[in-house]
Amino acid sequence: MNNTATASKSAAAIDRALAAGRTALVGYLPAGYPDVQTTIDAAVALAENGTDVIEIGIPYSDPVMDGAVIQAATVQALKDGFRVSQVFEIVAGITARCDAAVLVMTYWNPVMRMGVDEFSRRLAEAGGAGLITPDLIPDEAAEWFEASDKYGLDRVFLVAPSSSPERMAMTVKASRGFVYAVSIMGVTGARENVSSAAEQVVKAAHEAGAERVCVGLGVSSAEHVREIGAYAEGAIVGTALVAELGHSGVQALGALAARLSEGTARA
């Protein structure tokens, strides 16, 4: 893990939150849902309501780590003609209007198709912080290491309850910005409770040297965020935000972010 916080936009955003006595709030939105402009407006609404790091997901034809709500949103975006290069427009639109760190979450094939170097260059030019890669493990990431170093981008890899100590150490070392701790063996989706496995995963990541660990999957309420804040640096909310945006629009989304951020105060 890179120790120089200034080199990493997402680490800097998390550190600002922690310095203010808050757990970092990370919010996910799918690109182009319901359209490009709304994605930008929605992300800005998140940032204005206490979200520190924005995660913009690229709609993909085969999203194996996503549950029904996010799948429905990304299928809709693709049906409406979303093109991968529009994600740079979205990132630039968000970073022009707020100072949240903006990461892109993407399955790997769209990046590989564009070319890892070109994708990285365009993301950096748009002001993006880096990538969250749900189906890219460090073992396969040679090209991504090279490009992320070249363009100063964060590499957010995932760790899971099933990660062996060796893989945990390797993945923590490979990551920059923060480590994404998967709270549960499963896919994205709001759940009643945050799994107790989450705390163990975060503990293992910290022991492996991670300075910033954010917990995702199943996080949907201020209470969840508060709970996670007791042992991790950040909480990641996705499905709950996507559902709110789909049902009630940007303003309601901002209100939900404000409620979630009430859980960020650290004891």
| 69 alpha-carbon distance from chain centroid | 17
- The one-letter code for the residue type at 144 is W
What CA–CA distance (Å, rounded) separates 71 from 192?
20
Shorter beta-carbon distance to another protein: residue 97 or 121: 121
| Closest distance to another protein from the beta carbon of 171 (Å) | 7
DSSP class of 100: S
Give catalytic residues, as residue numbers. Answer: 55, 66
Residues that bind another protein (CB under 8 A): 60-65, 67-68, 71, 75, 78, 83-84, 108-114, 134-142, 145, 157-164, 166-167, 170-171, 173-174, 182, 185-187
Pairing label, strands 101-105, 53-57: parallel
Calculate the alpha carbon distances from 215 to 30, 81, 91, 233, 249 in Å.
Answer: 19, 32, 23, 8, 25
What CA–CA distance (Å, rounded) separates 225 from 236?
8
What CA–CA distance (Å, rounded) separates 168 from 209?
10
| Closest distance to another protein from the beta carbon of 62 (Å) | 5
What CA–CA distance (Å, rounded) separates 213 from 179?
5
| Closest distance to another protein from the beta carbon of 227 (Å) | 21
What CA–CA distance (Å, rounded) separates 248 from 34?
12
| Closest distance to another protein from the beta carbon of 162 (Å) | 4
| Closest distance to another protein from the beta carbon of 143 (Å) | 8
Shorter beta-carbon distance to another protein: residue 23 or 163: 163
